[in-house]
Amino acid sequence: MAPPSHCHTINGGAPRNGAIAVETPATLLLDADEFRRLGHQVVDFIADYYAGLGDYPVHPSVTPGFLRCQLPTDAPSRPEPEAFAAALRDVRDLILPGMTHWQSPRHFTHFPASSSTVGALGEALAAGINVVPFTWAASPAATELEMVVVDWLGRALNFPESLLFAGGGGGTILGTSCEAILCALVAARDRKLAEIGGRRIGDLVVYCSDQTHFAFRKAARIAGILRDHCREIPTYRDDMFALSPTALQAAMQADVDAGLVPLFLCATVGTTQTTAVDPVRELCAVAARHGGVWVHVDAAYAGSALVCPEFRDVIAGAEAVDSLSMNAHKWLLANNDCCAMWVRSSSALVAALGTEQEYILKDSAAEGHDVVDYKDWGTTLTRRFRALKVWLVLRCYGVEGLREHVRSHVRMAAAFEAMVRGDARFEVVAPRRFALVCFRLRSPERLGGEKAANELNRKLLEEVNAASSGPYMSSAMVGSVYMLRCAIGSTLTEERHVREAWNVVQVQATSILCKRG
């Protein structure tokens, strides 16, 4: 809508310095009838988008600058007639054709950014209510709903009681795993420096495997850890690329012997490249020998699978971790962004991230109560009401509904894996644990060598992704082996999409091998 504007005087007098003030009646900016009219347009637009997603190439064939050259250099000074409808047309005609369509049923590149009707509408509801729940007083219901939701979700994932509010721990909902890792790392840093003295920050050392997401190394830099004090411990195919407790013990002991201070271990359940699972219980035992090293488990992708009892062995030993995070937006239908983090000791978080509360943030109703102020649990003060959409998803789909959602993708991944194994030209490179299949085309004997095999598979991925009606996949380089990744997780993916994807892979492989003679 185009809100009317007209000249008016300030305080009943003449305009100051000849300036003309523009009045936009506040009621028209949130007019209920206009919101309803435009809201219907948006809902219809999104519904049409989902209905037609199969017609879009998953990844666009565009070059940098393609959109910027189609849009005006400056924003309009006045809204055009029916500006909202015109903008939606530009979204349809200019923006969508240049998008990578993460919700496409043929998107197998990244771990899913799962979407659902309830998740999307929960986002809309939170945006419409638009509260800022940084303290209990700022929005009591939002704070308490978040506390309820993280306990609901933690129980659904079978986390130990020690990580829940009900067991003395607690959780919060952040934007991403990157935030969660940074918050845990800062809490660990401050706790350790309080013990050994702030001047020794240069002695702190953090640990991960060479499969750990780069978000951890970024967080370590932000937290003030020296770049060469981030230990990336090599993993091996024979260990399914999991972090070795023996190798971790050796690395920590070497640092202790050198006068350094082991601080933090980031273990992963479901690594990005191959979904490797680090042995949590054994790693926690190693960390405990070295002055209570903080153990964080990054379960960004695979944490969702824990809703299914058959996967819960991968988190064995979680009762000993200090913190754990998972992205409900990846596989639990919660829509971006939604990372849940749990801690065993909320006091460590609050001590590191808390602020002295301004008088304006105080509320007499909270006096004498041990309330949660979520501004002290994360890096930001302004925060979104993410708990609302998670609550809606849990209520409307239920734990059993979420289990079936995850299991359906696991079944499709198992079917794709069977197709790969059924073609002697291919091999599965890493064991499939969840819904990711890592595979490659074997290099013909006459070509030989790992380098030739890697080049062959690079070409294969390029041709697969170039197929107009084909899937969109990604690659990984692990242990000098280049492999293709087929990550199944889009809400709209069906078995036929998986079969069609494999057919494209086979056709392109045949073509490449024929050309090579």
Residue 126 has pLDDT above 60, yes or no: yes
Instruction: Tell me what the mean pLDDT of segment 283-307 comes to.
Output: 97
**334 found inside a domain:** yes
pLDDT for res 371? 87
pLDDT for res 424? 95
If pLDDT is split at 50, 70 and 90, which confidence band does 283 have? very high
The rounded distance, in Å, linking the Cα atoms of 442 and 32 is 61
How do the residues of the chain divide into helix, strand and coil, expressed in percent and rounded to 5? Answer: 50, 15, 35
Residue 213 has pLDDT above 80, yes or no: yes
Residue 129 sits in the same domain as residue 159: yes
Residue 158 has pLDDT above 90, yes or no: yes
From 9-18, 101-110, 431-440, the region with the lowest mean pLDDT? 9-18
The pTM (predicted TM-score) of the whole model is: 0.91
- The more confident residue out of 452 and 356 is 452
Residue 303 sits in the same domain as residue 199: yes
The rounded distance, in Å, linking the Cα atoms of 199 and 283 is 28
Residue 228 sits in the same domain as residue 127: yes
Residue 445 has pLDDT above 90, yes or no: no
Residue 339 has pLDDT above 60, yes or no: yes
CB 441 within 8 A of CB 461: no
Residue 269 sits in the same domain as residue 147: yes
pLDDT for res 10? 34
Residue 256 sits in the same domain as residue 358: yes
**425 found inside a domain:** no
Residue 74 sits in the same domain as residue 176: no
The rounded distance, in Å, linking the Cα atoms of 102 and 59 is 9
- The more confident residue out of 24 and 426 is 426
pLDDT tens digits, residue range 367-408?
655 789 999 999 999 999 999 999 999 999 999 999 999 999
CB 181 within 8 A of CB 265: no
Q: Considering 39, 69, 101, which residue would you say is the last residue of a domain? A: 101
Residue 12 has pLDDT above 70, yes or no: no
**110 found inside a domain:** no
- The more confident residue out of 445 and 158 is 158
**269 found inside a domain:** yes
**390 found inside a domain:** yes
pLDDT for res 358? 64
Residue 68 sits in the same domain as residue 147: no
Residue 144 sits in the same domain as residue 261: yes
**163 found inside a domain:** yes
Q: What are phi and psi of 424, to 5 degrees?
A: -65, -15
pLDDT for res 15? 42
For residue 216, give its domain range. 121-395
Q: Dump the DSSP string for 317-351.
A: TGGG-SEEEEEHHHHSS--SS-EEEEES-HHHHHH
pLDDT for res 516? 79
**435 found inside a domain:** no
From 26-35, 41-50, 107-116, 328-337, the region with the lowest mean pLDDT? 26-35
**92 found inside a domain:** yes
pLDDT for res 8? 34
pLDDT for res 90? 96
pLDDT for res 27? 59
Residue 367 sits in the same domain as residue 309: yes
pLDDT tens digits, residue range 46-92?
999 999 998 889 999 899 999 999 999 999 999 988 999 999 999 99
Residue 190 has pLDDT above 70, yes or no: yes
Residue 94 sits in the same domain as residue 133: no
CA neighbor of 482 nearest in space, from 513, 420, 440, 427 = 440
Instruction: Tell me what the mean pLDDT of segment 464-484 comes to.
Output: 91
Q: Considering 395, 415, 436, which residue would you say is the last residue of a domain? A: 395
Looking at residue 195, which CATH number applies to its domain? Answer: 3.40.640.10
CB 467 within 8 A of CB 504: yes
Number of domains present in the structure of the chain: 2
Q: What is the DSSP letter of 440?
A: E
Instruction: Tell me what the mean pLDDT of segment 10-30 comes to.
Output: 51
Looking at residue 71, which CATH number applies to its domain? Answer: 1.20.1340.10
If pLDDT is split at 50, 70 and 90, which confidence band does 13 have? very low
pLDDT for res 18? 46
Task: Calculate what percentage of the chain has a pLDDT beyond 70.
Answer: 91
Q: Helix (H, G, I), strand (E, B), or coil: what is residue 153? A: helix
Token readout for 249 is: 């013990």
Residue 57 sits in the same domain as residue 149: no
Q: Considering 395, 410, 439, which residue would you say is the last residue of a domain? A: 395
Residue 156 sits in the same domain as residue 227: yes
The rounded distance, in Å, linking the Cα atoms of 187 and 189 is 5
pLDDT for res 24? 55
* Torsion, CA 364, CA 367, CA 371, CA 372, rounded to 10: 60
Residue 116 has pLDDT above 50, yes or no: yes
Mean pLDDT for the chain overall? 91
Instruction: Tell me what the mean pLDDT of segment 28-45 comes to.
Output: 92
